[in-house]
Structure 1
Amino acid sequence: MKIAGEVRPAGTWDIASATDSVVLDADERHRRRVVMAGEGGTKFLLDLDRAAQLADGDGLVLADGSIVKVVAKVEKLVEVSMASARDRLRIAWHIGNRHTDVEVVGESLRIRRDHVLEDMLRGLGATLVPVEAPFQPESGAYAGHGHGHHHGHRHDP
């Protein structure tokens, strides 16, 4: 089986030279070691030294030098906005308090569709607009530093 052990960040390689592509949602793009199959049939093992958050346009370099392009899958999201900076901060706190993946887009936030969160946000005065787009959530303050989610507090609903 072919092995991909290197990631070339988007913009650092010739995208036209890609031999295949893999379409992955945000969760599937956070990987270290997994068997993947490209849209064109290329089957390979992604085998990185540590987990990486792959981005749209990244290249996975196979042992033979060929490159498979990462394509961010379009997902069902909701764009959340508020009129004032204070209200945006308040909404961001409520979203973060629920450990929900979030992407910052201009002065708005994007989250995956979730009717419970959407009802809460509407109740807090947010404007919600459903969108379908690639999702690139914030990777977190400890990304790349080996921090797991083990910090001694409970996540009761």
Structure 2
Amino acid sequence: MIRVHKIHPAGSGPDDPPADRITLDREDRHRRRAVMTGENGLSFLLDEADAVFLHHGDRLELEDGRIVEVLAEPEDLVEIAADNAAHLVRIAWHLGNRHLPTQLMGETVRIRRDHVIEGMVARLGGRLTPVTAPFDPEGGAYGHGRTQGHSHDHGPGHSHGHTHSGAHHHHDTGHD
């Protein structure tokens, strides 16, 4: 099976048009080893020494020189704005204190939809706008968009389930 030879960060690397594209959600973009199949049927192996986080727009160069473009699957998010930078920093502190993956957007931040957290942000005076967009949270101290590894119980009946949509296939051979 053809392997990924090099990962080029978004905006860098060969300008060749991609031979294929692969659309992955945030969890699927954090991998060490996986067989992946692009939208046009090109199968390849990502096999890195350590887990990597693939960002929207990254380009995977295969051993034969072909390029596969990584696209982040749009997810249900909420964009948070505040009155000023100090107010946004206060809200961001509360999100970080809860170990929530957060994408910094300049004058706004994005998080995954969660009615409990959205209620907290509203009580803090944040302005919330639901969006469906790619999610590329900050790396932070624990890795690219990953949290510390513990959960917060929001009570009975509250779940954070998600579904995968779009035309992508991968065979997970293990997260590291």
Corresponding position of 1:101: 101
Within 5 Å, which residues of 2 pair with 1:1-157?
1-141=1-141, 143=143, 149=148, 157=153
Distance across 1 between alignment mates of 2:71 and 2:151: 33
Aligned identity (percent) is 47
Distance across 2 between alignment mates of 1:27 and 1:3: 21
* Most deviating of 31-40 and 6-15: 6-15
RMSD between aligned alpha carbons? 2.1
Moved over 4 A (4+): 154-157
Contact 2:142–2:148 under 8 Å retained in 1: no
1:85, distance to aligned residue in structure 2 (A): 2.6
1:12, distance to aligned residue in structure 2 (A): 2.0
Distance across 1 between alignment mates of 2:62 and 2:69: 11
Distance across 2 between alignment mates of 1:58 and 1:114: 28
1:51, distance to aligned residue in structure 2 (A): 1.6
Q: Deviations over 1:76-106 (max 9, x none)?
A: 1101111133321221111011111001112
* AA partner of residue 68 (structure 2): V
* AA partner of residue 43 (structure 1): S
Contact 1:5–1:47 under 8 Å retained in 2: no
Contact 1:29–1:53 under 8 Å retained in 2: yes
State the number of aligned residues. Answer: 151
1:133, distance to aligned residue in structure 2 (A): 1.2
* AA partner of residue 23 (structure 2): V
* AA partner of residue 72 (structure 2): A
Q: Deviations over 1:93-128 (max 9, x none)?
A: 110111110011121110011111111111221110
Distance across 2 between alignment mates of 1:39 and 1:9: 20
Q: TM-score, normalised by structure 2?
A: 0.77
Unmatched runs of 5 consecutive residues or more in structure 2: 154-176
Q: TM-score, normalised by structure 1?
A: 0.85
Distance across 2 between alignment mates of 1:18 and 1:66: 7
1:49, distance to aligned residue in structure 2 (A): 2.0
* Most deviating of 78-87 and 127-136: 78-87
Secondary structure of the corresponding residue to residue 2 of structure 1: coil
1:50, distance to aligned residue in structure 2 (A): 1.7
Contact 1:80–1:127 under 8 Å retained in 2: yes
